[in-house]
């Protein structure tokens, strides 16, 4: 029996991913994204052409604006009003949450395993950022997301009661600010009476899972070593 894909059912999702990848498939736009980690106005952006024939030449503001429009259209760049010494203007900044969502959609294509096993050489792994330092004592370790291996300490004194908030907002105890599928405040880890537990917050949009099983709204469960907490598209391993 031959397998087939329902193209009509897949079309809307595939169309959105195709538009995103098409907008990102330009070296100048990728360079622009790196610059916009710090918010900049149009006159503050210095972008040089990436083509082989004219590498190093500064491109016009009009061309930069066109690149910005393409990136704004797919949500990976945000525009907002800002104030500079020369007056009111528009400021552009990177939206890494949208980039993460696109990466997750693209990652899903790897699940399209062919019926016959591919024969290919092992791909050499590029050396990335340094390995994250191991935290001593109880912690949550990010095992799926960005910066896998990062540990969030859960230190608590005997006899005390403490809680740590997991969410997308920066400044939280366990901030997963890269994951747009995580609610601003998604779940709590609680230390009480010598035990750790995880609790879904009632206002979490996509809920919380424990060992890949969803918790009911507001439900609280005790944690044991090697339990896996899921929020959004991220996974955290509990280490006692």
Quote the CA–CA distance of 49 and 29 in Å, as a whole number. 10
Give pTM, 2 decimals: 0.84
CA 68/CA 39 separation, integer angstroms: 13
Q: 79 pLDDT exceeds 80?
A: yes
pLDDT greater than 50 at residue 72:
yes
pLDDT tens digits along 97-112: 999 999 999 999 988 8
Q: Give the rounded percent of residues in the chain with a pLDDT score beyond 90.
A: 74
Q: With 90 as the cut, is the pLDDT of residue 151 above it?
A: yes
pLDDT class of 1 with cuts at 50, 70, 90: very low
Q: What is the pLDDT of residue 182?
A: 98
The span from the CA of 178 to the CA of 172, in Å, is: 13
Res 133: pLDDT: 57
| 9 Cα distance to chain centroid | 26
Position 134 pLDDT exceeds 70: no
Domains of the chain: 12-110 (1.10.10.10), 139-239 (2.60.200.20)
Mean per-residue pLDDT, 194-220 = 97
Separation of alpha carbons 216 and 205, rounded Å? 12
Q: Which of 4-13, 71-80, 202-211 has the lowest mean pLDDT?
A: 4-13
Give the model's confidence band at 187: pLDDT under 50 very low, under 70 low, under 90 confident, else very high.
very high
Among the residue ranges 31-40, 45-54, 58-67, 188-197, the one predicted with the least confidence is 45-54
H or E, element range at 228: strand 228-231
Q: Is the pLDDT of residue 214 over 90?
A: yes
Q: Is 209 exposed, middle or buried (0-12, 13-18, 19+ CB in 10 A)?
A: middle
Contacts of 161 (CB under 8 A, 6+ apart): 190, 191, 192, 193
CB atoms within 10 A of CB 93: 15
| DSSP H or E stretch at residue 10 | helix 7-24
């Amino acid at each position: 029996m031959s397998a087939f894909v329902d193209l009509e059912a897949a079309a809307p999702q595939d169309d959105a991913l195709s538009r995103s990848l098409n907008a990102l498939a330009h070296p100048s736009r990728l360079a622009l994204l790196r610059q916009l980690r710090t918010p900049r106005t149009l006159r503050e952006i210095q972008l040089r052409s990436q083509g082989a024939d004219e590498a190093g030449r500064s491109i016009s503001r009009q061309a930069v604006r066109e690149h910005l429009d393409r990136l704004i259209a797919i949500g990976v760049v945000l525009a907002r009003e800002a104030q500079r010494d020369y007056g009111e203007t528009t400021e552009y900044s990177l939206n890494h949450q949208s980039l993460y969502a696109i990466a997750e959609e693209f990652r899903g294509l790897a699940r399209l395993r062919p019926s016959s096993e591919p024969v290919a050489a092992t791909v050499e792994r590029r050396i990335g950022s340094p390995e994250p330092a191991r935290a001593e004592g109880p912690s949550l370790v990010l095992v799926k997301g960005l910066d896998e291996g990062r540990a969030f300490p859960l230190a608590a004194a005997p006899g005390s009661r403490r809680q740590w908030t997991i969410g997308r907002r920066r400044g939280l105890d366990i901030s997963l600010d890269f994951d747009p599928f995580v609610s601003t405040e998604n779940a709590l880890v609680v230390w009480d009476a010598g035990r750790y537990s995880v609790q879904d917050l009632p206002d979490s949009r996509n809920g919380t899972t424990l060992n890949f099983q969803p918790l009911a709204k507001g439900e609280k469960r005790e944690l044991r070593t090697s339990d896996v907490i899921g929020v959004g598209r991220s996974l955290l391993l509990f280490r006692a």
